Amino acid sequence: MALHNRVSSKEMKARMLAESFKRITISFYQYAEIKDPSQFRDELYVNLEKLKIFGRIYVAHEGINAQISVPEFNMDAFKYYLDTIPFLKNIRLNIAVDNDGQSFWLLKIKVRGKIVADGIDDPTFNMFRKGQYVDAKAFNQLTDDRTTIVVDMRNHYEYEVGHFENAIEIPSDTFREQLPMAVNMLKDQKDKNIVMYCTGGIRCEKASAWMKHNGFTHVFHLEGGIINYVHQAEGEHLPVKFHGKNFVFDERLGEKVTDEIISRCHQCGKPCDRHVNCKNEGCHLLFIQCEECAGKFKGCCSTDCMHELELPEDERIQIRKGRQNGQKIFNKSRDRMKDLLERS
């Protein structure tokens, strides 16, 4: 039996778009001890493939992290299968806020060193000595107190298009950079209430454990992240304290939480929250671009990339050879991050 997809990505996407049934975009994670991640990965692939599930799943000794789309008619079977796995029984499933179901068209399950890369190599760190969960109601009550510190544990480009009121940005490209930065930025606030949040809960849960490991005492983290918060707040008719768009790591690149647009086009400066990748494959930069600039620059991030895109394919291939792109994300926060580190 095949344990990997054998059909091209292009064909699989076409098949997904031609489906006559509805899909539901879901994310879930669980920190748990998995003794043999490779064996678990293979068993997972066989069972999810039978249910026509697409998505991206990471498995490690420390647990599982999944973003998937499930055919609506297979939801009950999917939940039943998860319940057969002891550490996933009755697990919370985060259903996407803006849910068109067209987020994935392949099933990819990979074994990783960790389910979220954190850069932690301290053998005394215990992931399970974490902060206290808070739901939407408790989060709102805690953050009504202006002395509470709200910390966004997502990357700078996620924060840019949407975040909670009065949230502190840790301006970095990666979670592994954020952890030591958060400790350093808040080192004089160890007696304050600190509430951490992220998209679905996986990063802020680990971050809360890291803060506790570093001597912070009153640490909380938002259960289920922004996604679960929005569903809870709307279901319980609570004020929604998140403003803008929630960035997501799938084909959608974002889901609307409110109609507010709090970010700007990186090319012209007009209000815009539309993340795209540069059309020039030799660049592929992630940045915010309005529809007008998309037409003007032909979907590229610059005139240089636009001109390169117009070259014959063989010339573009030659240009790309040996090119070091580095982090392919537009970061308007780099200078601010440097200043913060120099001042601390």
Catalytic residues: 198
The conformation of residue 167, written as its DSSP 8-state character, comes to P
Q: What angle do CA 117, 121, 126 make, to 5 degrees?
A: 85
Strands 286-288 and 275-277: antiparallel
Whole-angstrom distance, CA of residue 110 vs CA of residue 103: 18
What is the end-to-end Cα distance of the chain in Å, rounded? 55
- The sign of the dihedral angle between the CA atoms of 158, 164, 170, 176 is negative
Q: Is 88 within 8 Å of 34 (Cβ atoms)?
A: no
219 vs 194: CA distance, rounded Å = 5
**Computed from CA positions of residues 65, 228, 205, 33, in that sequence, does the dihedral angle turn out positive or negative?**
negative
Give me the DSSP letters along 79-94: HHHHHTSGGGTT---E
140 with 88: CB under 8 angstroms? no
The C-alpha angle 296, 297, 298, rounded to 5 degrees, equals: 95
The helix or strand, by DSSP H or E, that contains position 140, with its residue range, turns out to be helix 136-144
Residues 6+ apart with CB under 8 A from 175: 116, 117, 118, 153, 155, 203, 207
Tokens encoding 287: 């940045």
Amino acid making up residue 47? N
